[in-house]
Amino acid sequence: MTTLCRRRVVSRILEHREDALVVSGLGAPTYDCAAAGDSPLNFYLWGAMGGAAMVGLGVALARPDRRVVVVTGDGELLMGSGALAVIGVEAPENLAILVLDNEAFGETGRQAGLTSKGLDLADMASAVGFRQVRTARSEAELDELAELVQAGKGPVLAVAKVALKDEPVALPTRDGALLADRFRSALGVTP
């Protein structure tokens, strides 16, 4: 039985983020990251479903000196599941993917997702060469998961089995050009 709260998981993992760069997948993971505290170093996706892991890989390859954390959901990750294979091969040590796995398409009416029917995301990532994978189901396992996402040698895939539950609204700006511009400015990238 899942006891983890997605907002608690994300705030616990991002509370000591230091200068980590965060890419969030569309829907609830974007809202969860905004609720944990807005930062110019958060790049929130509001669309482009299936793209979060590859955006994270791009940032990780461009900035090997910085920790890159992708926060996404089970449906978003699986839509772009080929990205796991690419990341396994490219093997960036600074990239961690945190999957908030509620086993459902929470944004569209809570239809059952593939992970509710036996698919194991950690096994998938492990099979394609992720250096470290872990699944947490309870609060007692959260500290270890947070440590892995924050500092574990990547590529890391961390799965948090979270409850299917509506959270308070926390919407960041959906102006993509603003998000990209402030992210690059905060990184000191010249235009």
∠ Cα 34 36 41 (to 5°): 60
Question: Closest CB to other proteins among 9 and 41?
Answer: 41
* 123: DSSP letter: H
HSE, CB side, 13 Å, CA atoms: give it for residue 73. 29
Site residues, other proteins (CB under 8 A): 21, 23, 43, 45-63, 80, 82-83, 85-86, 89-90, 176-177, 179-181, 183-184, 187, 189-190
Question: Closest CB to other proteins among 105 and 141?
Answer: 105
Least Å distance between CB 166 and other proteins?
26
Least Å distance between CB 25 and other proteins?
11
**Rounded-to-integer distance, Cα 97 and Cα 152, Å:** 11
Least Å distance between CB 47 and other proteins?
5
Question: Closest CB to other proteins among 15 and 90?
Answer: 90
Question: Closest CB to other proteins among 91 and 112?
Answer: 91
> Which helix H or strand E contains 60, and what residues bound it?
helix 52-62
Least Å distance between CB 43 and other proteins?
6
**Rounded-to-integer distance, Cα 33 and Cα 43, Å:** 10
Token pair listed for 94: 């600074």
Q: Which residue carries 């699944």 as its tokens?
A: 135
